[in-house]
Amino acid sequence: MTTGNKHLNFVIFLLFSILLFYSCRKTNTSENLDFTDIVKTINKIPINNRIAKWDSLLKLHENDTLTGYLYYQKAYTFYFMHKDKEALQNFKSAIKFLNKTNNKGLLAKSYIYFGAIYSSLGEQNIASQYILRGLQLAKKLNDSDILSLAYSQMAYFFYQTGDYDKSIEYQNKSAAIYKKAGKIADLIMVYNNIAVLYLSKDLDKEALDYFLKIKNLNPEKNYVGAYNLVVLYDNLGYITYNVTKNKDRALKYLRKSLEISRKNDLKPFFTYKYIALIYEKTNQIDSAKYYAQKSIEANDYEDYQTLVYTYDMLIRLNLMQKKDTSLLNLINIKDSLSELNQKVINDYKKKALKKNVMLLNQQKELSHAKKINKKNKIIFIFIVMMFILGLILSFQFNRFDVLKHKQELIILEQKILRSQMNPHFIFNVLSSIQNSLLEKNSIESATYLSKFAKLMRQNFDFIQKKHILLKEELDMIKNYLDTQKFRFKYKFDYIINVDDKLKTEDYLIPPMILQPFVENAIKHGFTNIPYKGLITINVLKKDDKICFEIIDNGAGYNPAGNRDNKEHALDIFKKRLFTLGKNAYDSFKINRLEQGTKVEFCFDIIKS
């Protein structure tokens, strides 16, 4: 097998691989039925104009279930435009969004094409990782179309690395899928690839077997394209002669190729070259020279390597005929073409090198970015840990404050209970009831004993509650006042005025809030006064507050009289107000009147 033929084999393999990918691509639009017609419409417009359409759709479907699908279509367009950098970026975005959806089929294809690009760039390690990832996902899905795509790309990967046996193995796996599915056109393409691989191994007989299999599949009916038919019959003709030495059959295939070229306006310079080679090998020099010249005329400087090869053939043929007159001219032309061919090869290598350098720089940038991200990640984790630690400590301190506050409230409630139900009060009330019984006022005694019992029950019941009804508070304070009136032998009276706007059963207030001031009025205000005492309790509604006024006509408030290092009921009440909020605490006022004392405070309305 000559170097020129091996180069041709590579081109043929690549063309058939691309066509195979294109055949798989036809299934891509079915990934999302809602977009089938839109995708078909976009794919009909010139390829250079498609990117703008995909971008427009991406703006409409940003971060939703279609985002990954649209990135895939955009990436695929770049892939067929041979814009590897842009294709990689968009396949990467497609993979990112498709990982968040259930579209595993499209995700598998994205992995495969992502790897295909790296394979064409010579980055085989990266390529194999992604292609295998796509293959594994395709196996899980048991999707024959995606499996065949993965097998084909694995075959091309091994072709690139020079492992032709592995490449043939994966091509045969693809062939089995297409044969089972009855996809003849796809099967023809795979058989062609296998034949080309055998040619690369210089196994012409095995290659011929596969080219004959293609012929038996009726490639004209199962249309694979005029150019591919020409390539098929060219290979059949040339390899048939190499294997069987049957010149007539070989030329029959090559003339079939010429017929297809003429019908489809193709330039059959390869066909003419193969005919010339057969005539050269059968020592028909003039015919060989004729077809070699036809190959040069048809080539029209499209393929420098083939031109160089054909001029070499003409030089050989002229030497065989000992015609030296035209040799120098032919050699000069051949040398010029060789220089041009080398320039094309060098340019290609430079482009490939530039692309690889660009990719290498991108990988370095990515590696650097990963290092920075890793460092930032460590810093971020440290900050998060410190934040969490701060939250835990804050939570613990707050919990401690809450527990402390609850403890203070319990102690405060105990103090309130003790201040109201102190032993002296209980003893004095019971003594009064006892004296009444001794004076044989049994009905009166029974009445106040009942009130006192109810008062005791109310105290023990209310002290456990955060709020009670205003009605319950007023009922309790009436019992307390009646009990005290009985105890002090009716030396004072009381009046309770409730605002008409207030329904006492509709509002909640803190329990036993009035008792400390009533007790102060009785205990301190009414001691040693020469007139009957009077306590007036006013309950008012002011905006969104319930306000209380406790007014007595006693001796008046004397702050100096409370300086004895003891915590009095007034001190306990102020602490209690503080726990109920700043507004309640600020509303508290105690004023000395011309005769007596006035206490005022308010609470926010709480409806029952």
3-state per-residue secondary structure call for 117-149: HHHHCCCHHHHHHHHHHHHHHHHHHCCHHHHHH
* 334: CB partners within 8 A, 6+ apart: 308, 311, 312, 315
What is the total residue count of the chain?
608
In whole angstroms, give the CA distance from residue 502 to residue 284: 126
In whole angstroms, give the CA distance from residue 380 to residue 373: 10
pLDDT above 90 for 494:
yes
pLDDT in tens, 19-39: 444 444 444 433 444 567 777
Note the pLDDT of residue 401.
72
**3.40.630.30, 3.40.640.10, 3.40.50.720, 3.30.565.10: which CATH number matches 421-607?**
3.30.565.10
Task: Look at the alpha carbons of 59, 61, 64, 66 in this order and tell me if their dihedral is positive or negative.
Answer: negative
Query: In which band, very low, low, confident or very high, does the pLDDT at 421 lie, cut at 50, 70 and 90?
Result: low
Query: In which band, very low, low, confident or very high, does the pLDDT at 497 lie, cut at 50, 70 and 90?
Result: very high
Cβ count within 10 A of residue 330: 18
Give the distance from CA 25 to its chain's centroid. Answer: 27
Q: In 3-state terms, the chain is what percent helix, strand and coil (to 5)?
A: 75, 10, 20
For the full predicted model, state whether its pTM sits above 0.85: no
pLDDT above 50 for 289:
yes
Average per-residue pLDDT for the chain: 79
Cβ count within 10 A of residue 306: 21
In whole angstroms, give the CA distance from residue 450 to residue 427: 16
Structure tokens at 293: 């010249």
pLDDT in tens, 379-418: 888 888 888 888 888 888 877 777 666 666 655 555 554 5
Query: In which band, very low, low, confident or very high, does the pLDDT at 543 lie, cut at 50, 70 and 90?
Result: confident
Query: In which band, very low, low, confident or very high, does the pLDDT at 436 lie, cut at 50, 70 and 90?
Result: low
pLDDT above 70 for 324:
no
Query: In which band, very low, low, confident or very high, does the pLDDT at 81 lie, cut at 50, 70 and 90?
Result: confident
Note the pLDDT of residue 26.
42
Averaged pLDDT for residues 441-455:
78
pLDDT above 50 for 292:
yes
Query: What are the residue ranges spanned by the domains of the chain?
Result: 421-607
